A and B are shown apart, each in its own frame.
Chain A
């Protein structure tokens, strides 16, 4: 029974980490769309290139956070949570 509980806890951590890392897909798509639109804007108004680049840099940095949150959560679930569950179940 104890072994089963530990197994379920570890399985939950692994599945949770996998699900958390799905969050990394969104920023990639978002950044891709943002740069495509920025390219469109620069094509129309080449004189705005530096301001578009600057805004897009900050925008991309903010967009990446979601991925980093998911990634940090995944790492915590892989490296920290199993130990805590094992301590709790012991």
Chain B
């Protein structure tokens, strides 16, 4: 069964959607969308590194993205540049460097489009194992740090005053972000991973009134996007990443109707 590329893609996609759905909520709550985008852009560098020295792509991307995250945190402390300027600087320079390095690697044929937008044909059995084992680990860690992470998301000082360690859980969360980007890059592509993290969560916000509910709706939204998106991509022969994200967008638009009804009720 796993020999069918489409089945492989669906199994991989389901794994990714469950993880991005839950992490995505925190990214929306903590206003880290652009941060996630920066980590994703730096993933290209990780991919070229992996190909050059012949190591696992997910592992290499994870290491590169974590390194970029660390550099970013250091830079934020050292310079007075605003955060978004620093993010833009790192995002686009790491993307550019990655592309330049690819130019040097003439002995390997790169599927750049696949890297940028995802490629379901590329998903192997090994990738599925990486996604499901990595994803399970990410969710386990997220569950362990949920309470302090959520508390410091609501109010940093309150959490710290009452005995939690916000700096530590924030750092762990950054690593989790690097990890989810690493395992989903093949499927969704580095330009679209942030969409997979943000759009289902944004849709879920429109439908929910408490954090746990939002996470559940976000996961469901992600799953629907993956399933509908992949079938569409198979039918009309489009790249997997854009098809998934477009589906997510359509779901988000539907969620706006529900939101409008709720706000009208509140105003009455």
Our verdict on whether A and B bind, yes or no, reads no
B residues engaging A (CB < 8 A)?
Answer: none
* Interface positions of A (Cβ within 8 A of B): none
